[in-house]
Amino acid sequence: MRTPELIPTSTGLPRWRNLPAPAKLNLFLHVVGRRPDGMHELQSIFVMIDWADYLDIEVRSDGRIERIDDASEQPLALPADDLCVRAAKRLQEHSGVTMGATIRLEKNLPAEAGMGGGSSDAATCLMALNRLWGCQLSPSELCEIGATLGADIPFFIRGQDAWVEGVGDVITPIELPEMSFFVVKPLQGVSTPAIFKAPNLNRATPRIAIKHGLTVDEGEQVMFGHNDLQPVAEALCPAIGQALESLRAQGLEPRMTGSGSAVFAMLKNGDATPYVALPHGALSRKCKKIRNHPLVDWESSKNVG
């Protein structure tokens, strides 16, 4: 992953580029119940990987929040009021700062993948602007702001492997070994609301207890369980099943991440990038798990801005 870099500006206000917004994978995803308000209770392990979007943020004195889309691997027409812009405005309102920002977004993470791209962008925006604007909010305060925008944002702000429960709001840090993955994102996406509304979605997987960061039932094994959303997603998006079969044909044990449509398989140490006959238009990448969010250390350093 790239290293954040300070760029001189004519205004003298700080501008940082190569601020990473890494993707996440769900090593498993169980739906363990449903609340009276209709929200689903989940259990999952989240990890971050070294496939990332990158942000370039320049502080401005006029209070305006502006987003510019840079050339990227995934050229997308993002809405003017996307999560990055909303996160910046929410931080402005919460902290009372009068400064603004120009946010340049290099969008490499695919949309509708279940990899948390938009949430990660917003988390990076919050962490960076907290420092660049001198807001001095704690990670917990940033998480409170982030949670009003997206359930996955607090995970990225916490910035490490996590056992996640509830509706994504109960985050327990854990430590997992080094891991590598082969990730495939079909061209087609899948609707998260459609998956959760499906009458045949399994909503009653037994809860798992954890101890010392791993499961009591599964001991030291990291890859266990399944993704309850996968059968419904495969029915809605056949390309997911095609991607899974492509990985199985290589002797791998793939599963879908999040609500899809990206799928992944864990690689053993020393495994080369597998040759996979991908569905038409699919993206693929060999990725490594990253232990900490790159901005957790950056944001706490004394020489930023």
State the catalytic residues: 24, 152
Extract the tokens encoding 179: 């891991």
8-state DSSP, 110: P
Q: Would you call 147 helix, strand, or coil by DSSP?
A: helix
Residue owning tokens 């350093």: 301
Extract the tokens encoding 26: 């769900």
Could you give the angle at the alpha carbon of 247 between the alpha carbons of 245 and 249, nearest 5°? 70
Rounded distance, CA 259 to CA 230, Å?
7
8-state DSSP, 284: E
Rounded distance, CA 279 to CA 283, Å?
9
Q: Cis ω on the peptide bond leading into residue 259 (within 30° of 0)?
A: no
